[in-house]
Structure 1
Amino acid sequence: MPSGQNSPYLPASTPRSADVVLYLDLDGVVHHEKVLWHPRRGIYMSPYEAAGHSLFEWVHILESVLEPYPTAALVLSSTWCIRPGYSATLKRLPTSLRARFIGGTYHGRVHGVDPWNVSMFRTTPRGVQVQEDTLRRKPRQWIALDDDLEGWPDSCRRNLVACDGTSGLSNPDVQQELREKLHSCFVALSAKPA
């Protein structure tokens, strides 16, 4: 490849980073996993499989867990990066969380926008998507909060806080594990020079 040309496998620009990054999935984490999409209606909860649930119903729990860690940044690691898109997704979140976001695991400049590239991204296991993003952003510490547990590289599993898609962050055990891993990230930061 001639000098000065961008490789198709490298980001067009350096992505934003932070010392501690939480990779955040949405479906099955901040609300029930049974989410549907319709071209006119948009994204909504399945009235049959998730009756009584609402979008972002557990987001206040995430706000509470993150409150002691004002410098923890968020990266959107969800199919919502593609539809409805990163910016449209952030508009639906509380201001306190919106301000923490530094990007998403999918970005048109990095992955391309043609249907083949989108399809390739969608079929890449979530853990690999997150791993590739950590290699681009290079956070000093990171955690992933997700209910998609298939295909995570062994080297990344210790960073994963696994959710059950029907209870997500409403599960006290998940909340506790997230608190413990966040605490460990910040303890590790204070023990190592920058």
Structure 2
Amino acid sequence: MNKSYRPIAVYCDLDGVVQHENVRWSRKKGIYMAEPHRTLFEWVPHLERALAPFPQVALVLSSSWCVWPGYGKTLRKLPQGLQERFVGGTYHQREHGSDPRVKEAFRTMSRGAQVCADVLRRKPVQWLAIDDDTENWPEWARPRLIACDGNTGVSSIEVQQELQHKLHWCVHEIEKEARWRSELDGCSDRS
């Protein structure tokens, strides 16, 4: 498989998914973990292990971190292997421009609306979202949402199992469509 082609997009939040939800920002400290005995990105290894059997998965950053500190700065905080899976973010200045009104409009959208708008723009073959923000997702998108508890995120065994189950389903759907297209091609060749 061509490593650069990844037909499955997983829209990944950070706060409440790869780290505890209690992340704060101050001028003095920058971004920091406000929850005692927790660290930034502490659950990343769980995500990496869950994705390891699926080289066809790309990640899309769907987080307030897209807006600040920004997509590029955020990626630099992640392990190299995970960085290589990212293909973009739901908000990116290169895509959305620098108009502060556009940025503010994006910030006021629900996470579900942000992800769905990106799905319609990016058009992945299959997609899922992993997020602790489960409010206001369109009904048609809810089956693709893996809901996390912001206190445990992807460290939860149940979340890891659901992610893997849904990724297997995505792979199956892609393979089923490939077989269907192959059969169609075979029919047209006989004509």
Same fold (TM over 0.5): yes
SS of 1:192 mapped into structure 2: helix
Q: Which residue of 1 aligns with 2:10?
A: 22
Q: Is the 8 A contact 2:12 2:61 kept in 1?
A: yes
**C-alpha distance in 2 between matches for 1:166 and 1:34:** 8
**C-alpha distance in 2 between matches for 1:87 and 1:143:** 22
Q: Is the 8 A contact 1:17 1:138 kept in 2?
A: no
**C-alpha distance in 2 between matches for 1:90 and 1:177:** 25
Correspondences of 1:31-70 after superposition (within 5 Å): 31-46=19-34, 50-70=35-55
Shift, 1:114, TM fit = 2.7
RMSD: 1.4
**C-alpha distance in 2 between matches for 1:97 and 1:109:** 22
Shift, 1:17, TM fit = 7.7
**C-alpha distance in 1 between matches for 2:146 and 2:129:** 6
SS of 2:39 mapped into structure 1: coil
Higher helix share: 2
Match of 1:133 among 118, 121, 127: 118
**C-alpha distance in 1 between matches for 2:159 and 2:140:** 21
Q: Is the 8 A contact 1:111 1:121 kept in 2?
A: no
Shift, 1:84, TM fit = 0.7
Q: Percent identity?
A: 52
Q: Which residue of 1 aligns with 2:184?
A: none
5+ unaligned residues in a row in structure 2: which ranges?
182-191
Q: Is the 8 A contact 2:5 2:56 kept in 1?
A: no
Shift, 1:71, TM fit = 1.8
Match of 1:165 among 141, 145, 150: 150
**C-alpha distance in 1 between matches for 2:37 and 2:65:** 22
Shift, 1:111, TM fit = 2.4
Q: Is the 8 A contact 1:17 1:102 kept in 2?
A: no
Q: Give the number of the structure whose alpha-carbon radius of gyration is greater.
A: 2
5+ unaligned residues in a row in structure 1: which ranges?
1-15
Match of 1:124 among 109, 133, 139: 109
Q: Is the 8 A contact 1:17 1:137 kept in 2?
A: no
SS of 1:102 mapped into structure 2: strand
**C-alpha distance in 2 between matches for 1:21 and 1:39:** 34
Q: Which residue of 2 aligns with 1:12?
A: none
Aligned residues: 176
Residue type of the alignment partner of 1:114: D
Matched, 1:78 2:63: yes
**C-alpha distance in 2 between matches for 1:41 and 1:114:** 28
**C-alpha distance in 2 between matches for 1:39 and 1:110:** 28
**C-alpha distance in 2 between matches for 1:185 and 1:86:** 26
Residue type of the alignment partner of 1:126: R
